[in-house]
A and B are shown apart, each in its own frame.
Chain A
Amino acid sequence: GEDVEQSLFLSVREGDSSVINCTYTDSSSTYLYWYKQEPGAGLQLLTYIFSNMDMKQDQRLTVLLNKKDKHLSLRIADTQTGDSAIYFCAESPRVYGGSQGNLIFGKGTKLSVKP
């Protein structure tokens, strides 16, 4: 079945790098996403990666994809207190002949950044 797993908590010091890991199950997923959720708010798209890529970099964010192991990671360089939030990994399995009807989310990793 479809499942996305993440560790639930990560604590880092301000200025350090954060690495949030995710495993997914559906090899048909063509895109994988990282979303950020701050308390009481909706989800903010951070970045996404196409499944034929190994890496994508966007300013302080680096996404690594190991398609063989179905492993995705998000690295945040120079983590700031404003990065404290819950980070969700999501996959987009193909359904119904190719339409992307929904995303499958993990339970989220709560990142705490200590000053």
Chain B
Amino acid sequence: DTGVSQNPRHKITKRGQNVTFRCDPISEHNRLYWYRQTLGQGPEFLTYFQNEAQLEKSRLLSDRFSAERPKGSFSTLEIQRTEQGDSAMYLCASSLTRDNSPLHFGNGTRLTVT
């Protein structure tokens, strides 16, 4: 079990640029989640996939954000025209489908928008 892997670990970008993050879930997990965590706060849900289908999106996910999971394995989260308020830790998690299956988190990608 290699756990949930996220790349890159850190990303510094200038305001207005686009960024893309990748998440590789635990291989047998068919649910994949994206969360955002700002300093001093708990993680906030952004979106989740079951296999390749995006089943839920938070109202935090503005139209500048898009997530994909084309083959039901890894996922990407893209932020277009980044703003300073996008600076945060972006966490990916995965789980099995059954309801009591807990979420397993990766170490996150820390985004800094200058």
A positions within 8 Å CB-CB of B: 4, 30-31, 33, 35, 40-45, 48, 50, 88, 90, 95-96, 98-108
Residues of A within 8 A of B44 (CB): 105
Please tell me which one of the listed residues B40, B42, B55, B102 contacts residue A48 in the complex, with CB atoms under 8 A apart. Answer: B102
Choice from B42, B43, B56, B105 contacting A101 with Cβ under 8 Å: B56
Q: Can you list 7 A-B contacts (CB < 8 A)?
A: A30-B100, A31-B99, A33-B102, A35-B105, A40-B107, A99-B55, A103-B45
Please give the distance in Å from B102's CB to the nearest CB on chain A.
5
B74 CB-CB contact with A under 8 Å: no
Could you tell me the distance in whole angstroms from the C-beta of B37 to the nearest C-beta in chain A?
9
Bound CA span A105–B93, Å: 14
Q: How far is the CA of A89 from the CA of B106 in the complex (A)?
A: 18
Which chain B residue lies CB-closest to A90? B42
Q: Which 4 A-B pairs have the closest CB atoms?
A: A105-B42, A102-B45, A101-B56, A42-B105
Name the distance in Å between B41's Cβ and chain A's nearest Cβ: 6
The B31-53 residues at the A interface (CB cut-off 8 A) are: 33, 40-45, 48
Please give the distance in Å from A106's CB to the nearest CB on chain B. Answer: 5
Q: Which residue of A lies closest to B98 (CB)?
A: A100
Question: Which residues from chain A contact B107 at a C-beta distance below 8 Å?
Answer: 40-42
A65 to B37, CA, bound (A): 26
Asked if B104 contacts A45 (CB within 8 A), the reply is yes
Closest to A35 in B: B105
Interface centre among A45, A90, A100, A104 (most CB of B within 10 A): A100
Which one of B42, B55, B93, B99 has the highest number of Cβ atoms from chain A below 10 Å of its Cβ? B42
Q: How far in angstroms is the closest Cβ of chain B from A40?
A: 8
